Amino acid sequence: MMKIFLADTTATRKLGITLGQSLNAGNVILLEGDLGAGKTTLVQGLGEGLGITDSIVSPTFTLINEYTEGRLPLYHLDLYRLEPNEVAALNLETYWEGVEVTPGIVAIEWAERLPYKPDSYLSVRLTYGDESARQVEMTPHNCTISEEVATMRM
Ligand SMILES: Nc1ncnc2c1ncn2[C@@H]1O[C@H](COP(=O)(O)OP(=O)(O)O)[C@@H](O)[C@H]1O
Ligand SMILES: [Mg+2]
């Protein structure tokens, strides 16, 4: 597990950028944390790191937003409004197995709501500090944290 202190929004975005520059097709990021913890901010950085210039907005109502103009496709999901049985019906493995879609990066907000998880994923847990500070705990499950991310300075 890797813990990073994120002093402000820019730090969270920067972490996302570094992830976006170093992740590989098929990587899944499971984001957990309260409303306003910075999940979407991190995914916005991730999109920037992938070279996506479209503005990334939270798919709270659309469930999934797909961005295809970057180095790899980005599939951004938000499970906030769903019950676990509704999540199961989405067949999310389509995205992380890249079966019927081009393999890309899958970033899932409110991953707490997942009734099952992929075989490998990066767990990203955001928590509040004082005011604009956040803390992030990143735990790789059957995958590795890239050198670029592991040696980041905030
Ligand atoms: N260190 C920080 N990291 C991320 N967001 C921060 C930070 N400090 C303040 N914020 C603010 O908190 C809010 C986080 O919102 P958002 O990223 O949409 O969270 P979530 O998707 O987890 O609900 C934004 O308004 C952002 O500007
Ligand atoms: Mg969000």
Regarding beta strands 105-109 and 121-128, do their DSSP bridges make them parallel or antiparallel, or are they unpaired? unpaired
The preferred substitution site among 4, 39, 41, 134 for testing ligand 1, maximizing ligand atoms within 8 Å of CB, is 41
Distance 134 CA to ligand 1 centre (A): 9
Q: What is the mean pLDDT of residues 70-89?
A: 93
pLDDT of 22-32, one tens digit each?
999 999 999 99
What residues does the ion ligand 2 have nearby, CB within 5 Å? 39-40, 58, 109
- Identify the burial level of 41 via C-beta atoms within 10 angstroms of its C-beta, where 0-12 means exposed, 13-18 middle and 19 or more buried: buried
Find the ligand nearest to 10 CA: 1
131 pLDDT exceeds 90? no
135 sits in which H/E element: strand 134-141
- Of 102, 119, 123, 126, nearest in space to 37 by CA: 126
At 154 the pLDDT is 73
- Structural domains in the chain (count): 1
Q: Is 40 in the pocket of ligand 1 (CB under 6 A)?
A: yes
At 109 the pLDDT is 97
pLDDT of 36-45, one tens digit each?
999 999 999 9
pLDDT of 88-129, one tens digit each?
888 898 998 888 899 999 999 999 999 889 999 999 999 998
Q: Is 16 in the pocket of ligand 1 (CB under 6 A)?
A: no
Q: Is 8 in the pocket of ligand 1 (CB under 6 A)?
A: yes
pTM for this entry: 0.96
Q: What CATH number did the domain enclosing 35 receive? A: 3.40.50.300
Note down the domain range covering 49: 2-150
